[in-house]
Structure 1
């Protein structure tokens, strides 16, 4: 029988630094909940809002796959590999931190905030040469379909990481549904609702709710309203 965990949006940890407002699905920074340390290889799922003209100063990472998905606005990225790039809604960014990398992120718009998801995945290969990539993603022009945005395979659609993980996004119209099949035995899926209300195997989820499901081959997502969501298919043991 499938096992599940439900994380309602209003039960997340949080941080308010004035210029940065962040909701933490899993333990992060000063927020620690022993029952919410990670979901398998999914270690961090932060829902961040950064004020205009502000950002994260240069800071280090190592041995972590770091994914950013903008939801509103644009985020400028700079790193110690010499990359300078801007990512915005409709794109996904990945860094394999590997042996170590420094980077900074800034909202270059002086007036409008940028909203984005910051996601960390434990890698299946340590001390790799750091790498950076970003790709376009488009879920609104193909409604009611899963759009793969991340995988372990460099030749697949979207970005790739050093882990047996697959990310899919979808824009579902009201009363439409999608069948999802777990990609790899031993993986589970964590679903994060970006907009609207959906049901997964009968469990109602609202905007910014998260729902983990494992020990199953798949599940159904039904849209009670127009909805957008992210499915993160990750190893439960690694």
Structure 2
């Protein structure tokens, strides 16, 4: 098993006043030659957006974009529809940019900051028709068990959102001391593990809130929770 450690304090950070952005991988003005991507995972941003602020209309193409609100309310609008769509904690949003899409993202609250993860995954099919998806996931369904959020559009897995890549995004909330083993889909995959909250140990490495690890060249690995902890797993092809 091989493991790459990304400590929270080593991420790229940008303070734009209205936006506090943490970049796990090279993005915008942050560049680190050792943090370009992890397999097909190109972007993992941890953003906090001030009330009523956000990103104006801008384009994307040929990228699978997954957004997971953690606190507050995100409002989304794109050229596939004219309405502002709210996305709240407990929900996950996906957008296949494909041949091209224009969208806007704002904090839908006038008094509460918005906290979210945004993930970009390189697709395995280019120039597809753009598509949008959104789904609510019950928090009780990830209590000490893995909850699958996103899978490949080519798979028959029911209940998950779909993207154009042989990837899987899942989440779990573990009680202190609860044993857990993550099993990878194949030996050609790696998994990027983000500690959403809590203190834990993976392969002898102690990790805290917002620390992350990339794990590969293994069929499985175990997590030991030193306190209650939550995790997001992004499993992707490495080649």
Give the TM-score normalised by structure 1.
Answer: 0.96
- Residue matched to 2:51: 52
Q: Distance in 1 between matches of 2:62 and 2:156?
A: 19
Equivalent position to 2:164, from 162, 165, 188: 162
Establish whether residue 143 from structure 1 lines up as the match of residue 143 from structure 2.
Answer: yes
Contact kept? 1:136, 1:158, Cα under 8 Å: no
Equivalent position to 1:210, from 212, 215, 229: 212
Q: Where does 1:194-209 land on structure 2 (aligned, <5 Å)? A: 194-209=196-211
TM-superposed CA distance for 1:202, in Å, is 2.2
Contact kept? 2:151, 2:157, Cα under 8 Å: no
Paired residue secondary structure (1:156): coil
Q: Where does 1:181-192 land on structure 2 (aligned, <5 Å)? A: 181-192=183-194
Contact kept? 1:154, 1:160, Cα under 8 Å: no
- Residue matched to 1:123: 123
C-alpha RMSD of matched pairs (Å): 1.1
Paired residue secondary structure (1:10): helix
Q: Distance in 1 between matches of 2:158 and 2:150?
A: 8
Alpha carbons of 1:60 and 1:172: their partners in 2 closer, same or farther (altered >3 Å)? Answer: same
Long gaps (5+) in structure 1: none
Give a deviation string over 1:177-229, Cα, whole Å, max 9, x none.
21111012300011000010111122211000010010000111121110111
- Residue matched to 2:31: 32
Contact kept? 1:190, 1:211, Cα under 8 Å: yes
Contact kept? 2:86, 2:108, Cα under 8 Å: no
Give the TM-score normalised by structure 2.
Answer: 0.96
Long gaps (5+) in structure 2: none
TM-superposed CA distance for 1:140, in Å, is 3.8
